[in-house]
Structure 1
């Protein structure tokens, strides 16, 4: 559980730093157009910090880390998020500096999105294995019936 919290905290810090980077690089270069840097901050906070805080809550409820698939989800999702955000930052920085992007950046960003998708699929498979298929409608129904 501590690892999940640490990653949420890490993404919070990166989100704040990326917002600062966006503001400063555009100000230093007198850039007023559209750039992907404007959404890196949001991606890190939503897909990083908030997402892992939600996973932390799910871990508390369903012990997700006891599943062998959780490790696969965790590292594949993080790799996808890191690659996606890195390519957004690179592409946005090149835009601000007046340079064009290339196909390699688009290809890497696409791979990042694919890894994110695979990670999400693994999370849902893990959840499906950890959540019981049937639950009693009321906790009292799960207890032995009384003979009164």
Structure 2
């Protein structure tokens, strides 16, 4: 659970710093056009902070970290997000500064997106397996069954 919390917290900080960086670098360079830098803030907050907050709630309900694919999901997803956001930041900064970004950056961004996708696949397979388990093995309290009584 703490691993997910620390990830969410780290991405919250990075998302806010990304937004500040975007605002300041565009202001300092009198840049008014579009760049990938403007998307970093929301990508980090949504794919990082919000995703891991949701994963925390699912962890509480289904003990995701007890699943065999949890670590594969965690590290693959984080690697994909870091690669993707780093390339977005570099390409966006290059655009704001008026420099050309090498074509290899697009390939690296693609690798980041593919890695994110693999991480999501691990996440959903793990979640599906944890949901399929009886509630006593997922950490949730078993709810007593109620029956309707006839009057």
TM-score by length of 1: 0.90
Equivalent position of 1:59 in the other structure:
59
- Post-superposition CA distance 1:84-103 (Å, at most 9, x none): 00000000000000011122
- Cα distance between partner residues in 2 of 1:139 and 1:125: 28
- Cα distance between partner residues in 1 of 2:12 and 2:77: 16
Equivalent position of 1:44 in the other structure:
44
Q: List runs of 5+ in structure 2 lacking aligned partners.
A: 136-142
TM-score by length of 2: 0.88
Indicate yes or no: 2:93 matched with 1:88.
Answer: no
Residue 140 of structure 1: how far off its partner (Å): 1.3
Is the partner of 1:128 in helix, strand or coil? helix
Equivalent position of 1:3 in the other structure:
3
After TM superposition, what 4+ stretches of structure 1 lie above 6 angstroms from structure 2?
Answer: none
- Post-superposition CA distance 1:34-75 (Å, at most 9, x none): 011111000000000000000000000000101121000000
Residue 134 of structure 1: how far off its partner (Å): 8.3
Equivalent position of 1:140 in the other structure:
145
- Cα distance between partner residues in 1 of 2:125 and 2:131: 10
- Cα distance between partner residues in 2 of 1:112 and 1:73: 14
Indicate yes or no: 2:106 matched with 1:106.
Answer: yes
Superposition RMSD on alpha carbons, in Å? 1.7
- Cα distance between partner residues in 1 of 2:118 and 2:132: 23
- Cα distance between partner residues in 2 of 1:101 and 1:139: 60
Equivalent position of 2:139 in the other structure:
none
Q: List runs of 5+ in structure 1 lacking aligned partners.
A: 144-148
- Cα distance between partner residues in 2 of 1:28 and 1:38: 15
